[in-house]
Amino acid sequence: MILKEMMKMVQKVRLKSKIAPSFRQLHVDIKNRRHSNYWLKGGRGSTKSSFISIEVVLGIMRDSEANAVVLRKVAATLRDSVYDQYLWAIDVLGVQDFWKESVSPMTLTYKPTGQQIRFKGADKPRKIKSQKFRHGYIKFKHYEETDEFNNWAEIRSINQSLNRGGSNIITFYSYNPPASINSWVNQTTASEGLRDDTLVHSSDYLSVPIEWLGKEFLADAEQLKKDNPKAFKHEYMGEITGTGAEVFNNITLREITDEEISHFDKIYHGLDFGFAHDPLAYGDVYLDSARRRIFMFNEIYQVGMTNREAVAAIKKLNPMNEPIIADSAEPRTIAEFRDYGLNIRGAIKGPGSREHGFKWLEDLREIVIDPSRCPNTAREFSSYELERDSNGNFKSGYPDGNDHTIDKTRYELEPIMKKGGFKPWKKKQ
């Protein structure tokens, strides 16, 4: 009874004073179990990790079945970072008398029930997989500095091992976004954020009480803002500023509604054939010529499709069998697709057509892509970058690879590009 009363006091009095305003609605979301996965990205001083540590400590004290595992890529970094962060959370909540700390093994134990918060490094995967608790299950997982992990597949494998034995599991991912949109964590956040059970939250230091940060922190931030605005936006505001190598800086990722699509009076259709391990890429594009922008809202992107399977899938997206322009490098495949009833022809191409096509797309005012309908198109366009040489200088030309949806877009819009001022491309004999 005393413990319950103490918990009410902690939640009503102390919690509000220890969570920055930018996280208060997020706290309500977690308390009401509206989502299972929370991606918290932000700049320096945003207090995202502090918020998560408070939520996990309180969550365990509220639920007698709950335990937690907190992970970083390298085990050696745990002691002086996330472990100390959780000790801070226990202290500021005023519940240190109810917790026992241990460094070997690195755990925090809730004395009344024996529930635990365990700290693990992903460089020791065997120790992560063998997580059994005396009582309850892993309700909370926290990936600190998520961008330090190798890739999403590594984290997904860990989740598959830990997501057992209970319901209402909550996973937190906290990180400062890398500058490049091509980073795996930025790409994964964009795709995972489309799930109904996932919420992506952004934060920065501007909403944090000044006394929490200190004068030196604020002075450093303001100085960097003057000296290097781009670095300031990346480091302190948590923005994906880019590396300067991005080819398409005119991309807008957003939902394209059925209402919008119903007004698209002419749709262009393109196809890039798959070779060996490369995917077949088909898609539809609408051109708003007056505003110099295109809309991409349909895609097929798959490896290992037979020609018959590909034609059947394309006909579902193109039921009126409108003309399709495909890669002309495979005339036999085009002929077979035509035999299966597809209204298809090869692109004219010609010398310099690839470079012209890329430049034409770069010069558009806007490339609108629906990331839900076209996840691979969104990924390829967003992450396509120029290559650098050993001295860090950009190489000439556009790199080949991970550009299947870009190529199919060039093919389908080829007739429009030729009207747009490029030199005529000679048709191969």
Is 235 designated active site? Answer: no
Q: Which of 305, 300, 308, 299 is nearest to 275 (CA)?
A: 305
Catalytic-labelled residue, pool 145, 239, 385, 412:
145
Q: Using CA atoms, how far apart are residues 57 and 341, in angstroms rounded to an integer?
A: 62
Q: Which residues are catalytic?
A: 145
